[in-house]
Chains A and B, each alone.
Chain A
Amino acid sequence: MEILKVQELSKHYGSGENMVKALDGVSFSVEKGEFIAIIGPSGSGKSTLLHIIGGVDRPTSGSVFMNGTDVYSQNDENLAIFRRRQVGLIYQFYNLIPVLNVVENITLPVLLDSREVNSQRLEELISVLGLKGREEHLPNQLSGGQQQRVSIGRALMNSPSVVLADEPTGNLDSKSSQEILSLLKMSNEKYGQTLIIITHDESIALQADRIIAIEDGRITRDEVIRK
């Protein structure tokens, strides 16, 4: 089942001679439950692509269909709601809210929607992420790996259509990187969570089902490495 379709996506910055084409006619589609790695040198447009898929940044032209809905046909207010319900974002530098504790950070997307937190789901996530006993801790009381696990929890809490991760292990040592990657893989296998991750690390990219390579805003390779 096709969950995401990106069509002729372009994003240009500046104009005239100074125009930079961060993305230049990118098209691909993603099936539900796929685990995709996007690789490419810095400045190739990876993060721009991820932000546009996630509804954070509007494209210059082209469209993104998530679950059959044209994401950018909506106004900014509805786009924010779309992000909250359909997209889970994980950043290199975690972006947790410093004054909220672990549980509050994880349940933020649900609270923003003024909904009841499903306590069973929360408990399951906390134990899977190995954060038991740290529920009341603030982000600055946690290690980098633990903070990233909290942000994974926040991304998964709403069972979004896709989880987008931008260099999720870029700031971590190799042991924590392995932990984070195995958690992401587990969410992909156990919950059928669709996963798109940006990485520089070949060993991480090779564990995905499919690798998309981007250079100068264009897809240069799109290869399924395992089914």
Chain B
Amino acid sequence: MKLLRNPEVKRGAAVYLSLTAVVCAAALLLFGAKCGAVAAAVCVVFDAAALSGSVIRFRKIRQMCSEIDNMLHSKSYVELSSYSEGELSILRDELSKVISMLRENADSMLRDRQYLSDSIADISHQIRTPLTSVNILLSMLSGPDVTDERRSELIGEVSGQLLKIDWLINTLLKISKLDAHVAVFDPTPVGLLPLVQKAVSPLLISLDLHDQKLSLDIPGDISITADVPWTSEAICNIIKNCMEHTPAGGSIRVEAMSTPVFTQLTVTDTGSGISGEDLPHLFERFYRGKGSSDSSVGIGLALARMILSEQNATVKADNSPEGGACFTIKFYTSIV
């Protein structure tokens, strides 16, 4: 009998049998053969009843074993949780919690791996494009009859492409730091106006070149608690994106307001706005909208959002009623 290989059942059976033997012998010796027979019959019935309880319990355990075995060897998932009283039900339930945790971990590891391999593919693609241009430019440069004028033109283009690769690698490094949560943020109280002024300073020349007007409507008394270099980079990327989609002669407006719960910064441009198709994907890494230029790689806005969400801030994109794009950044006051 399979049941008897369980030591606790074996021990119990031995106790029962020896007790039965003692009782029967005692009844036989003290009260005669008839009484001994009755005692033996009663004992057999009780033993059987006790044994059947064990049989049922062990059958349930064996069933659970085979369910778990199935889960172990096939990808299928059997629901184990059960809602009745008793230790066996609690055991099932606890097992079910452990299994669901393991499954979730396995799922998230798979997602992470997929994400990593996608990112690497994207990054190598982005770096290969300017590298190919550099290669072509170099082969043109090494040609036999290149005039001095043409040579300096080509060298200019090569250095332009190299600058682009440099920027790309720097930005990707920042993104990977944020990804791995190793970027160091040093939140300090800072006036919003000086922060935005710092953020737009690298863009001023380009604004001038494109004859675009930038207006800052930020009350001087608004301040936020944020890391200055990272946050100004995020704001810079958002305004830069607006610039790229605003025609020459257009304008970009930056406004701010403050409530007890959050400080809000809105950036509105007079460009063509964001198409409904692009809106949900705007902040995705390497997503390039339909209207984006050839040189765009689609990481500026992704980086901006990563920086902001790391600091308990959110950014949303929408179209303004006038038709241009409108970005809303909210810095939450509470540190939650």
Chain B residues near A68 (CB-CB < 8 A): 77, 79
Q: Nearest CB to that of B89 among chain A residues?
A: A81
Q: Are B81 and A86 in contact (CB under 8 A)?
A: yes
Task: Write out the residue numbers on chain B whose beta carbons fall within 8 Å of the beta carbon of A226.
Answer: 309, 314
Interchain CB contact under 8 A, B83 and A203: no
Residue pair B97, A159 in contact (C-beta under 8 Å): yes
Residues of chain B with a CB closer than 8 A to A79's CB: 83
The reply to whether A82 and B100 form a contact with Cβ atoms under 8 Å apart is: no
Using A113-B90, A226-B309 as known contacts, say yes or no to A207 and B336 having CB atoms under 8 A apart.
Answer: yes
Alpha-carbon gap, A206 to B312, bound state (A): 11
Q: Does B104 contact A (CB under 8 A)?
A: yes
- Docked complex Cα distance between A86 and B85 (Å): 14
Given A85-B93, A159-B97, A203-B332, answer yes or no on A1-B103 (Cβ-Cβ < 8 Å). Answer: yes
* B77 cross-chain contacts in A, Cβ below 8 A: 68
Chain B interface residue count, CB cutoff 8 Å, equals: 25
Q: Which of A82, A192, A206 touches B83 (beta carbons < 8 Å)?
A: A82
What CA separation (Å) do A206 and B261 show in the bound complex?
11
Q: Does A33 contact B (CB under 8 A)?
A: yes
Q: Does A60 contact B (CB under 8 A)?
A: no
Please give me the residue from chain B that is nearest to A32 by CB atom. Answer: B104
- Which of A10-18, A94-102, A177-185 is found at the contact surface with chain B? A177-185
B330: chain A residues at CB < 8 Å are 206
Is residue A74 contacting chain B, with contact meaning CB distance below 8 A? yes
Does residue A19 face the partner (Cβ distance < 8 Å to B)?
no
Which residues of A have CB within 8 Å of B101? 192
Sort A-B residue pairs by CB-CB distance and give the 9 closest, nearest first. A203-B261, A78-B83, A81-B83, A68-B79, A82-B83, A182-B336, A178-B334, A32-B104, A85-B93
Q: Apart from A33-B104, A178-B335, what 16 extra A-B contacts exist at CB < 8 Å?
A: A1-B100, A32-B100, A32-B104, A81-B83, A81-B84, A81-B85, A82-B83, A85-B83, A159-B97, A182-B335, A182-B336, A185-B336, A192-B104, A206-B314, A226-B309, A226-B314
